[in-house]
Amino acid sequence: MTDRLTLAFHGAARTVTGSCMEFRHRGKRVLVDCGLFQGSRTLETLNRGAFAFDARDVDAVILTHAHIDHSGLLPRLVAEGFAGDIWCTEPTAALLEFMLADAGRIQEGDAARRNRRKDRADLPDIEPIYTEQDAMAAWRQARTIALEEWFEPAPGFKARLWNAGHILGSASVELLVDDTHILCSGDIGPEHKAFHPDPESPAGFDHVICESTYGDRKREDLTILERRALLETEIKSARARGGNLIIPVFALERTQELLLDMAALIDAKRIPSVPIFVDSPLANQATSVFAKYAETLEDTNGENIFRNTAFHFVDSTAESIRLNSVSGAIILAASGMCEAGRIRHHLKHNLFKREATILFVGFQAEGTLGRVILEGAPRVRIWGEDIVVRAQIRRIESYSAHADQDGLLAWMEARRPIGGSLFLGHGESASIEALRQLAQARQIAPSVLVQEIGEVYHLAPAKPAARTRTGDPQLQAAIGPDWQNSYADFATGLKRELAQIRDARAREHAVADMRAVLKSYKQARGEQAVRRHRS
């Protein structure tokens, strides 16, 4: 046991998912978030790896918000023996009931679907990371606390939550451990975001851990009215093309923001009252939570704006399948990065149609299908099938729930003075590096650090953090696009490229050459292994 306060980073370091920080002091452990890694298959394998701590030794979890990249490993934590409280705001707990249950069903369904694949017939069955039952057990350990109210998650730790302005119930976490004063930003929302007041928290800390999702870009500073004008243009353009408008959405917040704007445009007769299908049971459940808190939300006049007659909330699988035959509709479906859920069905049935439109309104992480489409892939693989991309691919960035570069810098400046270190995480490398350079130039803190997964730091009052353990290279290597992304890109174009070789015999030689390359590579690797064994 040590009396020193330490901070370990177990995720969201040079990547935007898997948020999990571990604070240890006098034998007590408190986690801030315990999120799921999302992205490439390689990155997602980290969800199955052993925790860097014994779940039974964790005293409490403080949850910044209900997004799965911050909460999605809580069921596994509980299944492995965590029995403490999960502290969060009341709206976060309400959303968590649906978010975690859905995550459990996705884990079970994804494992079952992969086990049915013909190319896995001779492989052992994949077990889900956790089940819906595990998810509900975790939700029952949620304990709510009001914003700005001090509480003690574990002996020696004092904490309170501050509005982060990101999504419903989101919070930054202020910690006071002995004389060391710390702030974890969570995800910071932009100024003047729909539904929520601007982010708040006090100033004057020893250490601040800040997200960097949009640290390398500035968005056009649009009002809600200006944002609606952009959406109006996209909807009218999609209608003119005649096909469906498919919008990949995050079930929580992004769906509700779009419905807010669509309802306003319909009521003002700026767009026709075309059928708008919300094809996500989770989004529908989240919308019911928003309706419950309608009186506390900005921009709604205290009304339930989700009752518009143009909105059709799709729950059953049969209803979802029937949407494959519609045309000229607006379909919102999760997940927002196109990694799971019903959006993949709608992409499969619409990407190849020239009259269809795919409109992205959220962040697309490296290695995700959404990022691949957005970056202009001519073909993509969905469930092992090659799909040509002929649809119009469009994007609106002003719906982001994250502050941009200017917003993040303003938030950090408002936390001054920072006597020790400013940590930058929850972002891809380019985003973090751009923000780091600006934070250093402005001298926001005596030291500006970029954490790696697996690193541990000693935290003390008014002193830069001291690294006591380096990160794990194997964990860091999982970040970003992986070989499976490269394989999918290669495989989707291979047949077409071979067909462009006019001579059939030459095509045979090309295939033989590729086989020879793979065989020689395998032989070389085998010889290397033998040499290592002999040495």
Considering only CA atoms, which of 92, 103, 80 is closest in space to residue 33? Answer: 92
CA distance 89 to 143: 8
* Eight-state DSSP code of residue 189: P
CA distance 174 to 149: 11
pLDDT at 178: 93
Q: For residue 233, what are the CA distances in angstroms to 155, 270, 340, 350, 467? A: 55, 10, 28, 20, 51
Contact criterion met (CB below 8 Å) for 41 and 95: no
pLDDT at 1: 46
* Eight-state DSSP code of residue 383: T
Considering only CA atoms, which of 79, 80, 87, 26 is closest in space to residue 53? Answer: 80
Q: Which domains does the chain have, with CATH numbers?
A: 5-217+401-477 (3.60.15.10), 224-395 (3.40.50.10890)
CA 120 to chain centre: 28
pTM to 2 decimal places: 0.84
Contact criterion met (CB below 8 Å) for 199 and 408: no
* Eight-state DSSP code of residue 178: T
Name the token pair of 130.
């956790």
Torsion of CA 181, 185, 190, 191, to 10 degrees: -20
- The helix (run of H) or strand (run of E) holding residue 382 is strand 379-382
CA distance 435 to 276: 39
Buried b (16+ CB within 10 A) or exposed e, 161-194: bbbbbbbbbbbbbbbbbeebbbbbbbbbbbeebb
pLDDT at 352: 96
Considering only CA atoms, which of 253, 450, 248, 489 is closest in space to residue 365? Answer: 248
CA distance 85 to 174: 17
CA distance 28 to 1: 9
pLDDT at 187: 97
- Per residue of the chain (535 residues), give pLDDT as tens: 457 999 999 999 999 999 999 999 999 999 999 999 987 778 888 999 999 999 999 999 999 999 999 999 999 999 999 999 999 999 999 999 999 999 999 899 888 888 888 778 888 988 999 999 999 999 999 999 999 999 999 999 999 999 999 999 999 999 999 999 999 999 999 988 889 999 999 999 999 999 999 999 998 878 899 999 999 999 999 999 999 999 999 999 999 999 999 999 999 999 988 899 999 999 999 999 999 998 888 888 777 789 889 999 999 999 999 999 999 999 999 988 998 889 999 999 999 999 999 999 988 887 889 999 999 999 999 987 899 999 999 999 888 889 999 999 999 999 999 999 999 999 999 999 999 999 999 999 999 999 999 999 999 999 999 999 998 777 767 776 655 656 666 666 677 777 778 787 888 888 888 788 877 877 766 666 556 555 5
Grouping H, G, I as helix, E, B as strand and the rest as coil, residue 205 is strand
CA distance 419 to 464: 8
HSE at residue 237, side-chain half, CA atoms within 13 A, is 15
Considering only CA atoms, which of 440, 363, 480 is closest in space to residue 37? Answer: 480
CA distance 44 to 485: 13
Considering only CA atoms, which of 45, 40, 39 is closest in space to residue 69? Answer: 39
Cis peptide before 378 (omega within 30 of 0): no
Q: For residue 467, what are the CA distances in angstroms to 247, 397, 427, 457, 525? A: 43, 37, 20, 4, 36
CA distance 413 to 68: 29
Q: Partners of 423 in the beta sheet?
A: 209, 449
Burial environment of residue 156 by CB neighbours within 10 A (0 to 12, 13 to 18, 19 or more): middle
